[in-house]
Structure 1
């Protein structure tokens, strides 16, 4: 069994375990072998075999294993086997004892995504909010907020997106996090428009457009600025923005051209309707 394990061959390791595991009960290196075998089964996605091995190691020799690592792997195994309640129990344990455990935020995000798809965004958000209340590590709290934002963008209404993005704590000026901060500002401004809060959106959108170099994103923001201006009765400003976007070769340029065409048709229809009301009746 050692040969395939040393070669890093998980398939052969799993086969050898199936054939010889019953004869290893008294083996002096059984614990080390079990660790290798459990990892091999996890790599193969055979969590129904890996999980009892992990449980046994944690139960029989809790002081000899990395508790955070093993419980985290158990949480992942439960999740992959569809046992969400036990996966959440393992996550609760990690949150109480090992906030920095590897893979914790990934498993939380995966479960929250499943909950949002199955039960709706509000259910997933409530679960994440409960975890945040118990979390102390700023990095974990920020990761939980990020999970909520991703779910809001995927399943939330515009008003819920605004609420989640507005509640997100300011990200520290760490270069690797700057793209997320920029995207949050963009999505918040767009969500304000979609939520009907047009006056609040105009200022942020104008500033973001000036600082955005990507043509596609700049036109997306500009289009929503035009929508906000139009909703406030600033038709000339809105048409001017749409005409500028329409001259670009972006997807939003196509949308702007269609919107301008609609407005021209509406104007022509209004003229025809006005004329028809003035025609004398016989």
Structure 2
């Protein structure tokens, strides 16, 4: 647990191989994932935090078309409010995974594999992994007192793709620099620590927010609507929209579409 002095943590009590230790600290940076103990001990507000199940197989003896490309599959019968990915590692080895909302992941992933014998009829699963993935967007406060959160603990993943490696690394780097400055100057004031969210939100926070907006619009679309989007969007549009890089350019393309203008275009621009 934490030992507090006002709004600052002064020491952390840990259990190391059965031995209870009290470690004095200048600051605490929680990079401890979805089930963040640091977030709970410091009472961060994670009411907007939403996680989905993800599951991935490493498969061998596959026959992957265009093995130098990543493949994504959408559809309410394929992966409800999510997607299936096939990430080739070679012509015969691939990571095959799924993320879904409000449904169990494994039945949908297994069904997808059975539906594609051209790729997987002779394939074998050699490794299985899975994890909860936060897709609810970044939490409102990234620090409280001298306690900071980074990565999955702070919801710093790209909601529409579920990717969080680059965004988490960026958060850790910025938070580390800010904490180092605070420790050296013994100054944990709001003015000093605000540098962390300010710098992070300039790029990554903005991308997370835009991707979350796109997710909320797209997750309610029918398969016909998704097919219509594919007809309108270029591959670059899809990448930029999903990753929160640019949602305006794809949205503007939809304003002339008789159905998608209202369903998608205007909502993305709102």
TM class by smaller structure: under 0.3
TM-score w.r.t. structure 2 length? Answer: 0.24
Q: RCO (CA 8 Å, sep 6+): is it higher in 1 or 2?
A: 2
TM-score w.r.t. structure 1 length? Answer: 0.23
Higher percent of residues as helix: 1
* Higher alpha-carbon Rg: 1
Higher percent of residues as strand: 2
